Amino acid sequence: MTERTLVLIKPDGVQRGLTGEILRRIEAKAYVIAQLTKSDAAPDQLAAHYAEHEGKPFYQPLVDFMLSGPIVAAVVEGNDVIKGFRSLAGQTDPTTAAPGTIRGDLGRDWGEKVQKNLVHGSDSVESAEREISIWFG
């Protein structure tokens, strides 16, 4: 079924000059980039986006990291793209994410409290619609 997902290229990805490489992988998979913006995240957007993680030990380091530089937000479309992009991204922890994935090929542990893992992808249809409205109104 055709779906939409919300992809964020996090500040580490933008700062390291990996925006093109990450978008290339999405397009190489033949998903469609329907909307694309670069901006500084606002604190209220991050509070809404990461509401499910509020209270966890990594929450504040995660929010601070997401405010540390510009991000790229994209709406990506395709059949089963929610699962498909998470497969392209790889597991949350870049140390163990499989080679061949964005996080596995391009990410690593930097010895910090937060996992700098380059990208976010929505995890369900409901999350995707909620997150798209946060970043694209």
Minimum CB separation of residue 118 from ligand DAT in Å reads 9
| Bridge partner residues of 82 (DSSP) | none
| Among residues 117, 131, 132, 135, the one that binds ligand DAT under rule CB under 6 A | 117
What tokens were used for 40? 């500084």
- Euclidean distance between CA atoms 96 and 107, whole angstroms: 10
Q: Which residue from 21, 77, 105, 123 is in contact with ligand DAT, where contact means CB under 6 A?
A: 123
Q: Are 4 and 58 in contact (CB under 8 A)?
A: no
- Tell the smallest beta-carbon distance from residue 123 to ligand DAT (Å): 6
Select 13 or 78, whichever has its Cβ closest to ligand DAT.
13
DSSP 108: -
**Is 25 annotated in some ligand binding site?**
no
Which pairing describes strands 32-39 and 2-9: parallel, antiparallel, or unpaired?
Answer: unpaired
Among 27, 37, 51, 58, binds ligand DAT (CB under 6 A): 58
* Residue 62, H or E segment: helix 59-66
- DSSP 8-state assignment for residue 28: H
Any catalytic annotation for residue 53?
no
Check residue 92 for interaction with ligand DAT (CB under 6 A). Answer: yes
- Is 58 annotated in a binding site? The answer is yes
User: What are the distances in angstroms from CA 67 to CA 29, 42, 44, 131?
Assistant: 29, 7, 11, 17
Q: Choose the catalytic residue: 25, 120, 121, 122.
A: 120
Instruction: Examine residue 41 and tell whether it contacts ligand DAT (CB under 6 A).
Output: no
- Positions that interact with ligand DAT (CB under 6 A): 53, 58, 62, 92, 114-115, 117, 120, 123
